[in-house]
Amino acid sequence: MSPAPPARQTRSDARERILLTACKLFYRDGVRATGVDRVIAAAAVTKVTFYRHFPSKNALVQAFLEYENTRWLNWFNAALQRHVATGASGLDALLPTLREWFAGGSFRGCAFINTLVELGDAVPAVVDIARRHKRAMTAAISRLLPPSRHRRRDAQAIAVAVDGAIIHAQLDTTPAAALQALARLLRGVQLGG
């Protein structure tokens, strides 16, 4: 019996393969260091196929960030809930969630911070996506806080501290120092001050 003929590749399969390849390369190696030709070769598609789905590298970068926004926020919210379900309350769920992420073998920081550092405001759509992502992360943090008139401001301050911890975790050989510093700040917020 001969093997079944290979399934025809659909347009959406090629688009997804290009996007997932770009996500891996952009996150691991950086947006500027990853050219379109490298994505095309790694995704095993033709230039015509690539440009049919992504008319420019900027369009691919935007798709990468949209994908990462959805993927990361889904993971972040689920991880927070998982830690709350195991007994952590409120902000106590934040540190083990971040520890989980930092300890992952492929951790290379925040895709949004990294991309903004590389591109600055050269691609306004990228800035808009990054802002939306950071607002969503801040909203998730806000939901961990008890209701108060300072809840929104506290969540914004914690989100800034989390961004700092993400960067620090990239600089250190271990994320422990970043998490310890963040824990100290979080204790201050929990104590009301």
pLDDT digits (tens, 9 = 90+) for 95-122: 999 999 999 889 999 999 999 999 999 9
Averaged pLDDT for residues 131-141:
98
Closest listed residue to residue 51, CA positions, set 68, 41, 36: 36
CB neighbour burial string for 139-171, b if at least 16 within 10 angstroms, e if fewer: ebbbebbeeeeeeeebbebbbebbbebbebbbe
**Residues in Cβ contact with 84 at an 8 Å cutoff, skipping those fewer than 6 apart:** 93
What is the reported pLDDT for 6?
Answer: 42
What is the reported pLDDT for 11?
Answer: 56
Q: How many CA atoms are closer than 13 Å to the CA of 16, on its beta-carbon side? A: 5
User: How far apart, in whole angstroms, are the C-alpha atoms of residue 67 and residue 123?
Assistant: 17
Closest listed residue to residue 113, CA positions, set 169, 59, 155, 75: 169
What is the reported pLDDT for 24?
Answer: 97
Q: What pTM was estimated for this model as a whole?
A: 0.89
Taking the domain 57-190, which CATH number applies?
A: 1.10.357.10
Closest listed residue to residue 143, CA positions, set 64, 75, 84, 71: 84
Tokens of 1: 């019996």
Burial degree of 78 (CB within 10 A; 0-12, 13-18, 19+): exposed
In tens, the pLDDT along 18-51 reads 999 999 999 999 999 999 999 999 999 999 999 9
* High-pLDDT (> 90) share of the chain, %: 83
